[in-house]
C-alpha cells in the first residue's frame, strides 16, 4: 500500500508517548486493501501487504467475524461487507444462506451470460449478497448500483413484495408510505405497488423498468427476479440484470426465466435439506 494512503487512512498521528498496536495496524492495512480493490484473493493481499498467508488468514477471519468483510464463495475473494461492522446472528444467517446458494448460482451463471444476484430484505431495502460477481457484459458499475437497492426501485424488492405473505406486504407498504426517505414515498405513489403484486405473482417473476432513466444513465439496466420461498416466507430473491440495448425483457424471459426458476428451486431444496431458518434473527 502507498505510504501516504496508509497515513491518510490511519488519520493523525498518536499522542506523544502512546504506542500503536501493530496487530491492529496490520488489520487496517488488510481492510484498506480489500476496500481499494473491492475484491481480493489471499494471493492478492499477500502481494499487496507483504504479510504472510498465515497472518493474513488470522486477520481475515477476525475481520469476517467482526462483520467488516465477507468471503465471496463463487470467486473465492474477500469483499467489503454489505453492512460494515455488523456482526451476530443475522450475519451468520446471511453467510450460511450465501454458501448454500453457491452451487446453484454457479450452475446458473454457466448458462446465463449476465450478472446474477442473490438478495435478502433488510428493512425497506434489499441487501445483495456476494456483490463481486464475474463481469459478463454489463457495462456499468453494477456492484455500486445494486448494493442496497430500495424495495420499490429494484426487481429484487418488487419480487419480495409481490411474493411475501399478504400481511407482511401490507405492513411493508404502510412502512414505505411513512418512510423518512422521499424516494420511498414517491416510488409508492408512482409505481402502483398495490396493483402489480398480483400481476407479478401470476407471471412468476418481477421486473425493473429502466425506461424512466436517461439513455446515458448508469442505472439504465433491466432486471427480472424470482423468489426463493421456504415455509411460506420469502427467504431471498434471485435476479438477472442486462442492458436494454442488447436485449428486451421478453427476450430475457424467453431465454433465461426457466433457468432462473430452476436455480431458485435448487436453492430452496438445499435450504430445506439443511433445515435453514426461513427468517433472519433480526429482520424487522
What does the pLDDT average to over 234-253?
Answer: 92
Please report whether residue 280 resides in a domain: no
For residue 230, the cross-strand partners are 233
Both 159 and 63 in one domain: the answer is no
Both 16 and 97 in one domain: the answer is no
Q: Give the pLDDT confidence score for residue 165 in this predicted structure.
A: 94
Cβ density class 51-87: b for 16+ within 10 Å, e for less? beeeebeebbeebbebbbbbbbbbeebbbbbbbeeee
Please report whether residue 194 resides in a domain: yes
Both 71 and 92 in one domain: the answer is no
Both 179 and 242 in one domain: the answer is yes
Both 132 and 253 in one domain: the answer is yes
Locate 267 and state its grid cell. 436453492
Both 93 and 202 in one domain: the answer is yes
Phi, psi of 144 (to 5 degrees): -70, -45
Phi, psi of 27 (to 5 degrees): -60, -40
The kind and range of the H/E element at 145 are helix 142-145
- End residue of a domain, out of 44, 78, 112: 78
Q: Report the mean per-residue pLDDT for the chain.
A: 81
Please report whether residue 212 resides in a domain: yes
- End residue of a domain, out of 58, 78, 98: 78
Both 23 and 108 in one domain: the answer is no
Helices (H), 149-232: 155-163, 166-177, 182-191, 193-203
Domain count, the chain: 2
Please report whether residue 279 resides in a domain: no
Binned at pLDDT 50, 70 and 90, residue 227 comes out as very high
Domain ranges, residue 213: 88-273
SS3 of 72-125 = ECCCCEEEECCCCCCCCHHHHHHHHHHHHHHHHHHHHHHHCCCCEEEEEEECCE
pLDDT tens-digit readout, 129-150: 864 444 444 434 444 433 678 8
Closest C-alpha among 110, 115, 113, 150 to residue 130: 115
Both 239 and 263 in one domain: the answer is yes
Q: Is the pLDDT assigned to residue 206 strictly greater than 80? A: yes
Please report whether residue 48 resides in a domain: yes
pLDDT tens-digit readout, 154-166: 899 999 999 999 9
Give the CATH number of the domain where residue 129 resides: 3.30.450.40
Closest C-alpha among 189, 190, 121 to residue 159: 121
Locate 242 and state its grid cell. 442486462
Please report whether residue 281 resides in a domain: no
Binned at pLDDT 50, 70 and 90, residue 71 comes out as confident
Q: Which stretch of 65-74, 179-188, 267-276 has the lowest confidence by average pLDDT?
A: 65-74
Q: Which stretch of 76-80, 192-196, 203-207 has the lowest confidence by average pLDDT?
A: 192-196
18 vs 133: which has the higher pLDDT: 18
pTM: 0.69
Question: What are the Cα distances from residue 85, in Å, to 70, 130, 137, 278?
Answer: 11, 17, 32, 24
Give the CATH number of the domain where residue 28 resides: 1.10.10.10
What does the pLDDT average to over 250-259?
Answer: 96
Both 133 and 42 in one domain: the answer is no
Amino acid at each position: 500500500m502507498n505510504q501516504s494512503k496508509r497515513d491518510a487512512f490511519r488519520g493523525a498521528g498518536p499522542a506523544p508517548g502512546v504506542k500503536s498496536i501493530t496487530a491492529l495496524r496490520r488489520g487496517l492495512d488488510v481492510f484498506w486493501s480489500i476496500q481499494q480493490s473491492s475484491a481480493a484473493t489471499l494471493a492478492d493481499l499477500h502481494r499487496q501487504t507483504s504479510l504472510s498467508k498465515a497472518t493474513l488468514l488470522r486477520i481475515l477471519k477476525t475481520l469476517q467475524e467482526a462483520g467488516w468483510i465477507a468471503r465471496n464463495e463463487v470467486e473465492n475473494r474477500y469483499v467489503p461487507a454489505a453492512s460494515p461492522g455488523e456482526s451476530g446472528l443475522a450475519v451468520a444467517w446471511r453467510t450460511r444462506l450465501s454458501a448454500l446458494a453457491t452451487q446453484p448460482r454457479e450452475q446458473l451463471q454457466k448458462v446465463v451470460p449476465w450478472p446474477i444476484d442473490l438478495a435478502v430484505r433488510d428493512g425497506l431495502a434489499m441487501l445483495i449478497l456476494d456483490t463481486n460477481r464475474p463481469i459478463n457484459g454489463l457495462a456499468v458499475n453494477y456492484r455500486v448500483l445494486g448494493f442496497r437497492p430500495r424495495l420499490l426501485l429494484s426487481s429484487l424488492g418488487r419480487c419480495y413484495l409481490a411474493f411475501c405473505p399478504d400481511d407482511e406486504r401490507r405492513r411493508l407498504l404502510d412502512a414505505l408510505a411513512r418512510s423518512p426517505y422521499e424516494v420511498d414515498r414517491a416510488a409508492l405513489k408512482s409505481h402502483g405497488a398495490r396493483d402489480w403484486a398480483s400481476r407479478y405473482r401470476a407471471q412468476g417473476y418481477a421486473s425493473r423498468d429502466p425506461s424512466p432513466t436517461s439513455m446515458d444513465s448508469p442505472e439504465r439496466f433491466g432486471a427480472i427476479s424470482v423468489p426463493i420461498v421456504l415455509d411460506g416466507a420469502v427467504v431471498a430473491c434471485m435476479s438477472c440484470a442486462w442492458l436494454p440495448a442488447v436485449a428486451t425483457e421478453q427476450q430475457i424471459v424467453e431465454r433465461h426465466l426457466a433457468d432462473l426458476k430452476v436455480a431458485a428451486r435448487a436453492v430452496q431444496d438445499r435450504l430445506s435439506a439443511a433445515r435453514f431458518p426461513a427468517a433472519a434473527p433480526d429482520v424487522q
